Structure 1
């Protein structure tokens, strides 16, 4: 449970850092790439949290998206949650492997519209589920 809490804290911490970004900040290349790194890190922390949770359920996921499917099968994620989680995983994969083709408008949109808060919601759902079970 301690690992789940630490990973959830990371997801929330990255969100808090992103909360501080303004439209003007995102016009600065260094700050924009800083936001991109925070989004990538937040996504990875959520993925790690999901994988750890499936492990606690006694199931080994075959991949990042499979971890979300397992959480949905166990009633932790709704279908909408699974769709959001899948989008986050795919976005993270693009940031890690093809960051040079990511359009800056997408990063700005995610940050300015606070879309990264979806990762916080998902992390808290996972954490709550395991806090309920001793």
Structure 2
């Protein structure tokens, strides 16, 4: 049950707002300290199997990635559009569902980075 091996921890719907024509952005690889390069948004802010787990029967399980993709990544683009219209003054209200979604997205998104996962993997579990 593997939908994708490359899990984007920054949704492409957000990256599109920073992209030039052709879907590229200027990108600096933090760990390599290399020069700034022009990169396609499909090739950045992703990690192989970041949200994949090995099931009890030994198969890769991608349900968490599917959930994040369907419940957050697929919806954030339209919510960004709602917020943009509100800020520009062309729409004077934001739907309550959008407000709640933004709060939940920020909370969940903060736990999707490799740094968050690496901290969990390296931290000893005490008291158990």
Q: TM-score, normalised by structure 2?
A: 0.36
Larger relative contact order, structure 1 or 2 (CA cutoff 8 Å, min sep 6)? 1
Q: TM-score, normalised by structure 1?
A: 0.35
Q: Is the helix fraction higher in 1 or 2? A: 1
Q: Is the strand fraction higher in 1 or 2? A: 2
